[in-house]
């Protein structure tokens, strides 16, 4: 057998594989640029797996829209496509989702509904944090309104999961402190559905109450 082996076929295969990788990187960068041109809208579409029903620019106060857009960028920097989240990145992403949408919900209750947000849980009477208070306000004070109740219920469920994953140290029956294990696969599946339901209902609420925001 000759030592002068013909590597032309192998070189062609390597070159093709390299070109595919480069093309994939270029496409990913272009996709990222497009997402960051409209980060809040992209984030909601990604979570809801559908196009928007409303114009967020028209539905939200100008300054709240700008603030939410910046928080949405932080979510996209963690993971551009939420269904590719894995491990502890999910916890960081959930925190930024709360940062992004709690302020929107607070503004909606105070400015659009012109209501003072409750401070205590209506049935359990404990003090509520300001972000969770807005969710609980919609869930309980507006329990007869389907969209508002669902917004509050699903955001509260997200908040509860976030709180449980951030505070994992628990004291057991033997008075020993242990770290609770988290099933991130289950948590992701559940919380993405919670987020999807919350944001679909938020869009429906905007569409029902703010006529000029409908696309």
* Tens-digit pLDDT profile for residues 117-130: 999 999 999 999 98
Domain ranges (residues) in the chain: 38-213
The two tokens of residue 11 are 């070189």
Digit-coded pLDDT (tens) for 79-107: 999 999 988 899 999 999 999 999 999 99
Size (the chain), residues: 215
Q: Express as a percent the part of the chain with pLDDT over 70.
A: 87
71: left (phi over 0), alpha (psi -120 to 50) or beta: alpha
Q: Residue 40's CB: how many other CB atoms inside 10 A?
A: 25
Question: pLDDT per residue over 192-209, tens digit each?
Answer: 999 999 999 999 999 999
Whole-angstrom distance, CA of residue 170 vs CA of residue 88? 19
For the entire predicted model, the pTM comes to: 0.84
* Confidence class for position 177, pLDDT limits 50, 70, 90: confident
Please report the pLDDT score of residue 1 as a whole number: 46
């Amino acid at each position: 057998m000759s030592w002068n082996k013909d590597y032309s076929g192998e070189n062609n295969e390597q070159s093709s594989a390299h070109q595919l990788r480069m093309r994939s990187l270029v496409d990913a960068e272009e996709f990222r640029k497009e997402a960051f041109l409209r980060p809040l809208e992209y984030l909601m579409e990604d979570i809801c797996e559908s196009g928007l029903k409303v114009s967020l620019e028209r539905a939200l106060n100008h300054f709240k829209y700008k603030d939410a857009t910046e928080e949405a960028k932080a979510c996209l920097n963690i993971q551009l496509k939420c269904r590719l989240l894995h491990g502890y990145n999910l916890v960081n992403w959930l925190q930024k989702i709360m940062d992004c949408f709690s302020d929107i919900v607070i503004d909606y209750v105070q400015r659009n509904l012109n209501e003072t947000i409750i401070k205590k849980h209506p049935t359990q009477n404990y003090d509520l944090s300001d972000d969770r208070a807005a969710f609980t306000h919609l869930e309980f004070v507006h329990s007869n309104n389907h969209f508002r109740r669902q917004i509050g219920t699903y955001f509260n469920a997200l908040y509860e999961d976030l709180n449980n994953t951030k505070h994992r140290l628990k004291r057991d029956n033997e008075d020993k402190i242990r770290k609770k294990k988290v099933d991130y696969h289950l948590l992701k599946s559940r919380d993405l559905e919670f987020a999807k339901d919350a944001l679909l209902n938020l869009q429906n609420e905007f569409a029902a109450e703010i006529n000029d925001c409908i696309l």
